[in-house]
Amino acid sequence: DTGVSQNPRHKITKRGQNVTFRCDPISEHNRLYWYRQTLGQGPEFLTYFQNEAQLEKSRLLSDRFSAERPKGSFSTLEIQRTEQGDSAMYLCASSLAQGGPIAYEQYFGPGTRLTVT
Amino acid sequence: DQQVKQNSPSLSVQEGRISILNCDYTNSMFDYFLWYKKYPAEGPTFLISISSIKDKNEDGRFTVFLNKSAKHLSLHIVPSQPGDSAVYFCVGGSEKLVFGKGTKLTVNP
């Protein structure tokens, strides 16, 4: 399977705990994105990487959120001191940007559903 | 502010008929627009796109129309099939994607 994979698929945690999600992009893709989707909404952009460099972060990404992409391959998204409002589907996507700022089609993984109790 | 608006949360059509999904946008800086389809428990999958300098793009049963003066685009599916039943997201694209809230399409046999 050469698609985008995410682990775990589901995570239930208690408020105040830290959680970490992993995304493995399509191997030749140099861009990796994180989105969050809540009920009744479309995915909302959180952050993206080009190779290992984090190029943009949304204002939705509070100080409790941190993302990394060491070596420009897989990425992790960590949420510290989780709150009930963090409950959402966290989606990862990857794409291939060739020389310009725009990378058109993004390929999405199945997402990690986080429930904070 | 909502840069991409899908005002119809749901749409129901009969198999074989045309499905028309509509979308309005406020950000004139989008370089292109896309439609993504999402089935339950799966991530969104790319369906079709259109450059902001075009007014129509067609791919099989799917056609996207862009009216820049009205800041409006639409997705036409002809003929509609039961397997098309999914949530469809209208998306504005530049360096990142901006999604609408989605329209749930149900195609009845």
pLDDT tens, residue by residue, B38-64: 998 899 999 999 999 999 999 999 999
Question: What span, in angstroms and rounded, lies between the C-alpha atoms of A19 and B46?
Answer: 29
Which residues of chain A neighbour B102 with C-beta distances below 8 Å?
Answer: 42
Residue indicated by tokens 């694209």: B93
Test A42 with B102 for CB contact under 8 angstroms: yes
Q: Which of residues A87 and B1 earns the better pLDDT score?
A: A87
Smallest CA–CA distance from B104 into chain A, residue = A40
Q: Does B65 touch chain A (CB under 8 A)?
A: no
pLDDT exceeds cutoff 90 at A64:
yes
How does residue A1 score in pLDDT terms, banded at 50, 70 and 90? low
Average per-residue pLDDT for chain B: 94
Phi-psi region of B83 (alpha: psi -120 to 50; beta: other; left: phi over 0): alpha
Question: What span, in angstroms and rounded, lies between the C-alpha atoms of B57 and B63?
Answer: 6
Question: What span, in angstroms and rounded, lies between the C-alpha atoms of A58 and A112?
Answer: 19
Test A102 with B45 for CB contact under 8 angstroms: no
Test A48 with B89 for CB contact under 8 angstroms: no
Residue indicated by tokens 């749930």: B104
Relative to beta strand B62-67, strand B56-59 is antiparallel
**B3-43 confidence digits (pLDDT tens):** 999 999 999 999 999 999 999 999 888 989 999 999 988 99
Query: Is the separation of the CB atoms in B97 and A45 below 8 Å?
Result: yes
How does residue B106 score in pLDDT terms, banded at 50, 70 and 90? very high
Q: Is residue B104 helix, strand or coil?
A: strand
> How many Cβ atoms sit within 10 Å of the Cβ of residue B79?
14
Query: Is the separation of the CB atoms in B7 and B101 below 8 Å?
Result: no
- Residue A113, pLDDT score: 97
Q: Is residue A85 helix, strand or coil?
A: helix
Percent of chain B residues past pLDDT 70, beyond the cut = 99
- Residue B83, pLDDT score: 96
- Residue contacts between A and B (CB atoms, under 8 Å): 56
Q: Is residue B52 helix, strand or coil?
A: coil
SS (H, E, C) B68-103: CCCCEEEEEECCCCHHHCEEEEEEEECCCEEECCCE
Q: Does B1 touch chain A (CB under 8 A)?
A: no
B95-107 b/e (C-beta count within 10 Å ≥ 16 → b): bbbbbbbbbebeb
Query: Is the separation of the CB atoms in A3 and A26 below 8 Å?
Result: yes
Smallest CA–CA distance from A106 into chain B, residue = B46
Question: What span, in angstroms and rounded, lies between the C-alpha atoms of B87 and A91?
Answer: 16
How does residue A2 score in pLDDT terms, banded at 50, 70 and 90? confident
